[in-house]
Amino acid sequence: MRYAFVHTYKPVLDDARYRSFDTMAEYRAWCERELPRWLGYGQDL
Amino acid sequence: MAKTFEYRQAEEIRDAFSRHGVRYLFLGKSGAILLGYPDTTQDADLFVEKSPSNGAAIVAALIDLGFELTATEQVEISRGKDFVQLKNGPFDLDLVFAPDGIERFEDAWQRRVDVEGFPVCHPADIIASKQAANRAKDRESLPRLRAFLDYWREKPPTERG
């Protein structure tokens, strides 16, 4: 396999078929508020 | 395990976006991997130019690729919301119209690296966007990405793609 990418389930993040945000700040705030910290999408673990 | 994103699908993006004349760049870890950075990622991040004509072209290309977009979603993408996350197609795709750490699409386009027809953000831009985002996962990646950039810069230009 060339340049392989592997997909594993990410709670919450993978639970919607589509999301959009007017600004990156809104997206970052959503990640902080909604995603499990261990996914690493927030500022701190 | 769910859907996978593979090199073949990167080719599908490249070909569909080319057919529809989309202005875009691979960004994030998917871009770095196309430059030779050894890692894995769960999706592709595309930095897309924000303009009405490019928005319409993106929608057409996504439908061509098999993404199922409602009328509302098509309007949002055409309008160019800053961040759109798609999990309604053959693979996961993030459309980023205004990435952290990169001022203008045109600047990033001028600095881009072409790899087998894939337009990829310069690795310094990939690093700048991760540095600006400063998420925990970015801080994990940055030391090795910076080391990769040093290695990549030492390669002759003909061997960088």
Q: Is A33 on the interface with B (CB under 8 A)?
A: no
ipTM: 0.90
Q: Is A39 on the interface with B (CB under 8 A)?
A: yes
pLDDT in tens, B42-100: 889 999 999 999 999 999 999 999 999 999 999 999 999 999 999 999 889 999 999 99
What predicted TM-score, i.e. pTM, was given to this entire model?
0.93
How close, in Å, is residue B5 to chain A by CA atoms? 5
- The pLDDT score that the predictor gives to residue B5 is 53
Q: How far apart are CA A25 and CA B9, in angstroms?
A: 29
* Beta-carbon separation of A2 and B7 below 8 A: yes
Q: How far apart are CA B118 and CA B161, in angstroms?
A: 9
Proportion of chain B above pLDDT 90, given as a percent: 83
- pLDDT of B2 > 60? The answer is no
DSSP, res B155: S
B77 close to B84: Cβ distance less than 8 angstroms: yes
B38, two tokens = 């050894």
Q: Is B73 on the interface with A (CB under 8 A)?
A: yes
A24 close to B92: Cβ distance less than 8 angstroms: no
Count chain A–chain B contacts defined by CB atoms under 8 A.
102
Q: Is A32 on the interface with B (CB under 8 A)?
A: no
Strands B93-96 and B113-115: unpaired
For residue A39, list chain B residues with Cβ-Cβ distance below 8 A. Answer: 137
- The pLDDT score that the predictor gives to residue A1 is 32
The C-alpha angle B49, B62, B97, rounded to 5 degrees, equals 25
Q: What is the three-class DSSP state of B52?
A: helix
Q: Is B133 on the interface with A (CB under 8 A)?
A: yes
Neighbours of B12 (CB within 10 A): 17
Name the β-bridge partners of B83.
Answer: A21, B96
